[in-house]
Structure 1
Amino acid sequence: MKAIAVNGSPRRKWNTAQMLESALSGCRDAGAETELVHLIDLKFKGCTSCFGCKRLGGPSYAKCAMRDDLTRVLDDVWDADVLIVGSPVYFGDVTADVRAFLERLWFSILMYNKEHTVRAPKSMPVKIILTTNAPEFGFHKSLNEGLIGTMSRFIGPAELIEANATLQFDDYGKYDAGMFDVDDRIKRHNEVFPQDCRRAYEMGKRAVAEAKELK
């Protein structure tokens, strides 16, 4: 049993990464091996519409034909039993790196036949973690529903959790960020964010249990 987490944040140790680490800790406690990938460390780009993934009888049918640092990650995803994707929300969407990752993950298994058949190698639970400095997440409803719906259709049962009003800076005084109540942000980081990480941990444990049921 293996769980892979993909961090789409440019920060390797901040809010999104910490929640992903908590989720993977839950996976390990449930008996799974784990892997964490930081997309910021890789050299890759989004789909180039080469259509190699749709060429009948071709060597890359139903898999991404591009060859770069993301190739191994995509292979590892399909070798895993649980997929966890984490991203901060930038302007109402996931980061550019996550978007490129999802393009190549999703598009390669969606066929252009009349049924729009999805040819995923397997079904697995998908867990999504979103973080944002915004105090409320209601305006991201369409993003959440889109991620859950597409992941559920293309890969397997999906679940999403979010952490909002997150701490962005070690020292707010060094940045043009006067709109924030710094004391409130620090208080929330100390009191609420650990609860967000705990939710991620429990989600990781739940994911492994769901993966075992799918086998």
Structure 2
Amino acid sequence: MTRKIIAIVGSYRKEGIVERAVEAILEAAAERGAETETVRLIDRSIEFCTNCRTCTREEGPQRGICVHRDGMSDILDRVEAADGIVLASPVNFFGVTAVTQRFIERLLCYAYWPWGKPMPALRVKDRGLEAVLVTSSAMPAALGRVFTRSLSSLKRAAQTLGAKTAGTLFVGSAALRERQELPQAILDRARKLGHELARQRTEPEPLN
């Protein structure tokens, strides 16, 4: 059965570092027979979550229904139909971009949180979805992993979607030039992650 891989990209720059890294992942997945799709959040209408909690009140495994009638429902339908997801955002002011944060906040619909309950609970912890997380930073990768929150935010988003993180890609020193090429090591890592997302789960684990 063909695996479906969807990328949710929260970059403001088309063909920027993050988007090109995502393209490399999806191209590698497609080489192994996967069906791929990219959703650019900047092109979609996504309203702010107002914390009204309407979407959290009904019990059950299905995501709650948001009061906003915008593009978010279509995005989540596509995510739920996928086998793998790439969540991607560059670092902006030590965290994810604002449009990515808006997307993440709207994932509250995957929690059950009626009035009177002190904390939300995930409706489903494991939906059989695998995630790859992609980010970039002006800092070298070793420092960026420590001093920025981007990967941790993307990981929480993946968990909320019921996905297991299969791997991460951090592109460091990404602001040295206006148009910067991806290092070969990053491209190699991206291809490996794409192949992993495309691998049928009945296949044996790779030896290396």
Contact 1:82–1:211 (Cα < 8 Å) also in 2: no
Contact 1:62–1:109 (Cα < 8 Å) also in 2: yes
Check 1:114–1:49 CA distance in 2 against 1; reply closer, same or farther (3 A cut): closer
Aligned amino acid, residue 93 of structure 2? F
Q: 1:201 aligns with which of 171, 174, 191?
A: 191
Task: String of CA shifts for 1:43-97, please: whole Å, max 9, x gaps.
Answer: 2223122323223279xx6234121122211111111111101111011100011
Check 1:53–1:212 CA distance in 2 against 1; reply closer, same or farther (3 A cut): farther
Give 1 or 2 for the bigger CA radius of gyration: 1
Q: How does 1:70-109 map to 2 (within 5 A)?
A: 70-105=72-107, 107-109=108-110
Check 1:141–1:212 CA distance in 2 against 1; reply closer, same or farther (3 A cut): farther
Q: How does 1:102-141 map to 2 (within 5 A)?
A: 102-105=104-107, 107-112=108-113, 116-120=120-124, 122-135=127-140, 136-140=143-147
Q: Which runs of 5+ in 1 are unaligned?
A: 172-188
Q: By how many angstroms is 1:205 displaced?
A: 1.3
Check 1:132–1:123 CA distance in 2 against 1; reply closer, same or farther (3 A cut): same
Q: Which runs of 5+ in 2 are unaligned?
A: 204-208
Q: By how many angstroms is 1:23 displaced?
A: 0.8
Check 1:36–1:166 CA distance in 2 against 1; reply closer, same or farther (3 A cut): same
Task: String of CA shifts for 1:113-157, please: whole Å, max 9, x gaps.
Answer: 578432248230011100111223143365434543552465221
TM-score after normalising by structure 2: 0.79
Deviates more, 1:37-46 or 1:81-90: 37-46
Contact 1:125–1:211 (Cα < 8 Å) also in 2: no
Deviates more, 1:203-212 or 1:120-129: 203-212
Check 1:90–1:115 CA distance in 2 against 1; reply closer, same or farther (3 A cut): closer
- The DSSP-based 3-state class of the residue aligned with 1:88 is coil
In the aligned structure 1, how far is the partner of 2:195 from the partner of 2:150?
25
Cross-structure match for 1:182: none
CA RMSD of aligned residues (A): 2.9
